[in-house]
Amino acid sequence: MNYYLAPMMGYTDCYFRSLVENIYGNSVTTFSEMIVDKAIIHNETKTITKHFLKNNKSAIQIAGSDPEEIKRAINILNKVDIIKHVNFNLGCPSSRVQENMLGLALTQKYDLVKKCLFELIKYNKDVSVKCRLGLGMNEDKSYIFDYLKLFYEIGIKKVFIHCRNGVLNLDTKKNRTIPKINYNLFLECCDQFPEMELIPNGEVNDLETFKFFQSKNITQFMIGRQFAKDAFFLEKLDLENVKKKTASIINTINELEHYKYLNINLLKKSIFTALSNISNSKKVKKEISVINNYSGLLNYFERNAIWS
């Protein structure tokens, strides 16, 4: 099975992505937080070096709504060797994103989406899209079918579908709970577009859901919040084998040694996601929370057998 760590603002920074990659190796592909194309155009070096480590394996998720700007951002990304996959955000409902006609809001304008995607596909490595199943509260199959047809015709075959509608003018948190999950419509999409690689996202958190999808021959999954709650959850569900847990944390810390923008609190925040299921979680987190420098953190994991 293949897993994808969903793009999440405030979570999938380079610390957390590095951690997940060190835990699971190639079984999990990770995605950056959403990065607006303007940031790439106007501040390329800082944007790339801040979000991506030198040995980066993550995809970049971008958002934009002006075909000219997307063209410029893609021109730049075509020259960035450490990035090999661009994902385009067509699902974010946040008000700021909406004000700028990005993400979900952009999908109100089919022709503009088309123009943006024409520029996106000028990226010379992997391209994918992340979108919702529908727009507004009501089920409307034509929304997703029309967009999948467009993606397919343009040549984008890999699509991550958050299996619930997105609703404009509803806050982001409610947009992840109120519109109902609709895996059956996702499966209908798979039937209608058998040549596309459609990957479900949205509450794929437990064995029952994984088994349901597997029974329908779906073997790739995008998961967000569950990774942030417990980075080892795939192992807990017996879906992945993780042998060297402490080593995966130490490797993550080592990878960040020369990172120019190192923020010890963000590093600790990502490491905490790996500590939610240990027996003395509270005590360990308390001990780590008072460490305020890089070498102290490294020493802590080198000296303490947290998973013996």
Ligand X SMILES: Cc1cc2nc3c(=O)[nH]c(=O)nc-3n(C[C@H](O)[C@H](O)[C@H](O)COP(=O)(O)O)c2cc1C
Whichever of 64 and 91 has its CB closer to ligand X, that residue is 91
Could you tell me which stretch among 6-14, 45-53, 231-239, 277-285 binds ligand X (CB under 6 A)?
6-14
Q: Which stretch binds ligand X (CB under 6 A): 2-10, 144-152, 235-243, 255-263?
A: 2-10
Window 81-110: residues binding ligand X (CB under 6 A):
89, 91-92
Min dist CB 115 to ligand X, Å, is 20
Q: Does 158 bind ligand X (CB under 6 A)?
A: no
176 near ligand X, rule: CB under 6 A = yes
Is residue 51 within the footprint of ligand X (CB under 6 A)? no
> Which of residues 86 and 253 has its CB atom nearest to ligand X in the complex?
86
| Nearest distance in Å: CB 25, ligand X | 21
State the Cα–Cα distance between residues 36 and 276, nearest whole angstrom.
32
Q: How far is the CB of 273 from ligand X (least distance, A)?
A: 13
Burial profile 87-115: b = 16 or more Cβ within 10 angstroms, e = fewer? bbbbbbbbeebbebebbbbbbeeeeebeb
- Residue from 93, 179, 200, 202 touching ligand X (CB under 6 A): that is 202
Q: Which stretch binds ligand X (CB under 6 A): 18-26, 146-154, 196-204, 268-276?
A: 196-204
Under rule CB under 6 A, residue 8 binds ligand X: yes
The stretch near ligand X (CB under 6 A) out of 7-15, 110-118, 183-191, 295-303 is 7-15
Q: Contact, 90 vs 131, CB < 8 A? A: yes
243-282 positions binding ligand X, by CB under 6 A: none
Q: How far is the CB of 28 from ligand X (least distance, A)?
A: 13
Residue 133 found at the interface with ligand X (CB under 6 A)? no
Q: Is 162 in the site for ligand X (CB under 6 A)?
A: yes
- Which residues of this protein are in contact with ligand X, per CB under 6 A? 6-11, 33-34, 61, 89, 91-92, 130, 162, 176, 201-204, 223-226
